[in-house]
Amino acid sequence: MHLNWEEEAKWIWTPDWTMADENKIGSFVYFRKKFYLEEGPHQAEIKVSADSRYRLFINGVSVSFGPCKGDRFTWYYETVDISSYLREGENVIAAQVLRYSPMKDGNESVWRTRLAGLYVHGFIRDSVGHVINQLHTDETWYCVKDTAISLSQGRYTVFLGITEDVDGLKLPFGWNVSEYNDCDWLPALPYSFDTLHGGLKPWVLTERVIPLMKEEKRRFSNVQRVIDSEVSTEAWLDLLYRDVPLTIPAHSKVIAELDAEELTTGFLQFVMSQGAEAKIRLLCAECYEQEPKLVPWMRDKGNRTDSVAGSLYGDYDRYHVAGMIDRVETYEPFWFRTFRYVRIEMETKGQPLTLHQLDYRETGYPLEVTGHFRSSDESYSDLWDISLRTLQLCMHESYEDCPYYEQLQYAMDTRSQILFTYNASGDDRLARKTFYDFHSSLLPQGLTQSRYPSSSPQIIPGFSLYWIYMLHDHMMYYGDVQLIKRYRSSVDAVLDYYDRMLDERGLVGAMPSKYWSFIDWTDEWKESFGVPTASHYGPLTIYSFMYAVALRKAAEMAVFVGREGVASEYEKRAEHIREAVITHCRSSGKSGLFTDGPGVELFSQHTQIWAILSGTIKGEEAKRVMETTISDDFIPKSSFAMSFYLFRALAETNLYEHTHSLWRPWRKMVDQKLTTWMEDTVSQRSDCHGWGAVPLYEFSSEILGVQPEVPGYGSIRIRPRTDHLTWAKGQVATPKGIVKVEWQRSEGEFIIEVDGPEQTPLSLVLPDGSIQYFKSAAAVKCILEL
Read off the pLDDT of residues 97-119 as tens digits, 9 standing for 90 and up. 999 999 889 999 999 999 999 99
Q: Alpha-carbon distance 133 to 210, whole Å? A: 29
Q: What angle do CA 372, 375, 381 make, to 5 degrees?
A: 60
What are the C-alpha distances in Å from 32 to residues 2, 115, 205, 408? Answer: 28, 20, 22, 32
Other CB atoms within 10 Å distance of the CB of residue 389: 18
Q: Alpha-carbon distance 96 to 54, whole Å? A: 5
Residues 6+ away with beta carbon under 8 Å from 444: none
Predicted confidence (pLDDT) per residue in 547-589, tens digit: 999 999 999 999 999 999 999 999 999 999 999 999 999 998 7
Q: Say yes or no to pLDDT of 1 above 70.
A: no
Lowest mean pLDDT among 120-124, 196-200, 207-211, 530-534: 196-200
Predicted confidence (pLDDT) per residue in 412-468, tens digit: 999 999 999 999 999 999 999 999 999 999 999 999 999 999 999 999 999 999 999
Q: Do 386 and 676 meet the contact criterion of CB atoms below 8 Å apart?
A: yes
Lowest mean pLDDT among 39-43, 171-175, 530-534, 606-610: 39-43
Q: Alpha-carbon distance 432 to 484, whole Å? A: 11
Q: Strand 749-755 to strand 780-785: parallel, antiparallel, or no bridges (unpaired)? A: antiparallel
Q: Alpha-carbon distance 162 to 28, whole Å? A: 12
Mean pLDDT of 394-402: 98
pLDDT tier, 197 (very low <50, low <70, confident <90, very high otherwise): confident
Nearest Cα residue to 570 out of 559, 562, 580? 559
**3-class secondary structure, 481:** helix
| The pLDDT of residue 2 | 46
Q: Do 120 and 95 meet the contact criterion of CB atoms below 8 Å apart?
A: yes
Lowest mean pLDDT among 192-206, 701-715, 743-757: 192-206
Q: Say yes or no to pLDDT of 655 above 60.
A: yes
Residue 664 burial (10 A CB sphere; 0-12, 13-18, 19+): exposed
Which DSSP category does 200 fall into? P
* CA atoms within a 13 Å half-sphere pointing along the CA-CB vector of 447: 21
Query: Who has greater pLDDT, 687 or 747?
Result: 687
Q: Strand 43-51 to strand 117-125: parallel, antiparallel, or no bridges (unpaired)? A: antiparallel
Lowest mean pLDDT among 192-196, 455-459, 665-669: 192-196
Predicted confidence (pLDDT) per residue in 57-77, tens digit: 999 999 999 999 999 999 999
The full length of the chain comes to: 786
Predicted confidence (pLDDT) per residue in 755-780, tens digit: 999 999 999 999 999 999 999 999 99
pLDDT tier, 3 (very low <50, low <70, confident <90, very high otherwise): low
**What mean pLDDT is reported for the chain?**
96
Buried b or exposed e, range 547-583, using 16+ CB within 10 angstroms: bbbbbbbbbbbbbbbebeebbebbbebbeebbebbee
Q: Say yes or no to pLDDT of 343 above 60.
A: yes
Query: Who has greater pLDDT, 558 or 129?
Result: 558
Q: Do 435 and 470 meet the contact criterion of CB atoms below 8 Å apart?
A: yes
Mean pLDDT of 38-50: 94
**3-class secondary structure, 272:** strand
Helices (H), 639-775: 640-652, 659-662, 664-671, 695-697
